[in-house]
Amino acid sequence: MDAIKKKMQAMKLEKDNALDRALLCEQQARDANLRAEKAEEEARQLQKKIQAIENDLDQTQESLMQVNAKLEEKEKALQNAESEVAALNRRIQLLEEDLERSEERLASATAKLSEASAAADESERIRKALENRTNMEDDRVAILEAQLAQAKLIAEEADKKYEEVLENRALADEERMDALENQLKEARFMAEEADKKYDEVARKLAMVEADLERAEERAEAGEAKIVELEEELRVVGNNLKSLEVSEEKANQREEEYKNQIKTLTTRLKEAEARAEFAERSVQKLQKEVDRLEDELVMEKEKYREIGDDLDTAFVELILKE
C-alpha cells in the first residue's frame, strides 16, 4: 500500500512536472509565435520599405533618364550652335577675304586713277604745248606768207639781171615752205593723237571711277554684313553661354541623382540584408516553434500516459480494497 502511494505520489509529481513543462512549452510556443509574428511583421514592413525604395529608385532612374535625354538634346543644340558659329566664322572669313580683295581692287583702282590723272595732266600739258606750237607755227606761216608775197613783189619789180638770183631764192623759199608745211602737218597730227589719248584717258578715268564706286558700295555692303554677322555671332555666343549654364546645371542635377541613386541603392542593400536576417530569424523561430510544439505533443502524450497510469492505479487500489 505504501509502495502504491509512493508510486502515485511520484506519478502525481511527474504529472505536475509534466504539466509545468507543458505549460512552459505552451508559453514558450506562444512567445515564439509572438516573436515569429513580430518578425513577420518586421519582414512585411521591411518588404514595404524595400518596395518604397524600389519605387523611389525607379522614379529616380526615370528622372535620370529624362535628364539624360534633355542633356542629349542640349548637347545636340550645343553642337548645332557650334556648327552655326563655325559657319558664321567661315562666312565672316569669306566676307573679310572679299573685303580685302575689294580693298586691294580699290587700292589698284586708286593707283590707276592717280596714273590716269597724271596721264591726263600730261596729255593736257602736251595738248596745250602743241596748241601753242601750232599757233606759233600758224603765226610763222603767216609771216612767211607775207615775206613770200613781199619777195614775189620784189622779184617782179627787180631787174632781170637779178632773175637768176631771185629764181634761186624762190626755190629756196619754196623748199622752206614745204618744210614748214610738213612741220605744220606733223604738229596737227601730234595734236590729234594727243586729243585721242586724252579721250581714251578720260574714258578709262570714267571706268575707273565707276569701278571705284562699285568697290566702295561692295565694301560698305561687306562692312554692313560683317556688323550683321557679328551681331548674329554675339546672339549665338549668348545662346551658347546659356546652353553651357544649362548643361552645367543638368550635370549638377545628374550628379545629385547619381548620389541619390547610390544612397537608395545602399539603403536597398541594407534593407535586403535586414530582410534576409529577419527571414533567417523567422525560419529559426519557426524551427524553435516546431520543436516546442513537438515537445508539447510529447509532454501531452506523457501527461496522458501518466493519467492513464493513475487511473489504472486507482482502479487497482479500489479493487484491492
Per-residue pLDDT tens digits for 122-138: 656 766 665 666 566 55
pLDDT-wise least confident of 82-86, 198-202, 245-249: 198-202
Give the model's pLDDT for residue 27.
80
Per-residue pLDDT tens digits for 140-158: 656 655 655 565 565 556 5
**pLDDT surpasses 50 at 23:** yes
- Percentage of the chain beyond pLDDT 70 is 39
Between 268 and 113, where is the model more confident? 268
Per-residue pLDDT tens digits for 84-105: 767 777 876 776 676 677 667 6
- The Cα–Cα gap between 267 and 211 comes to 81
Give the model's pLDDT for residue 211.
65
- The Cα–Cα gap between 302 and 14 comes to 9
**pLDDT surpasses 60 at 249:** yes
pLDDT band of residue 17 (cuts 50, 70, 90) is: confident
pLDDT band of residue 282 (cuts 50, 70, 90) is: low
Per-residue pLDDT tens digits for 256-274: 767 776 776 777 677 667 7
- Percentage of the chain beyond pLDDT 90 is 0
Give the model's pLDDT for residue 266.
76
- If you average pLDDT over each of 48-52, 105-109, 229-233, 285-289, which comes out highest? 48-52
Identify the CA nearest to 46 among candidates 251, 269, 237, 203. Answer: 269
**pLDDT surpasses 60 at 82:** yes
Q: What single string gives the DSSP state of each residue in 204-268?
A: HHHHHHHHHHHHHHHHHHHHHHHHHHHHHHHHHHHHHHHHHHHHHHHHHHHHHHHHHHHHHHHHH
Residue 16: what residue type?
A: D
- The Cα–Cα gap between 254 and 171 comes to 119
If you average pLDDT over residues 230-249, what whole number do you get? 68
Between 235 and 298, where is the model more confident? 298
Give the model's pLDDT for residue 127.
60
If you average pLDDT over residues 34-52, what whole number do you get? 77
Using a cut of 0.75, tell me whether the model's pTM lies above it. no
If you average pLDDT over residues 181-186, what whole number do you get? 65
Helix/strand number for the chain, H first, E second: 2, 0
8 A C-beta contact, residue 191 and residue 131: yes
Torsion of CA 276, 280, 282, 288, to 10 degrees: 180
Give the model's pLDDT for residue 162.
47
If you average pLDDT over residues 179-195, what whole number do you get? 62
Residue 262, burial from CB neighbour count under 10 angstroms (0-12, 13-18, 19+): exposed
**pLDDT surpasses 70 at 277:** yes
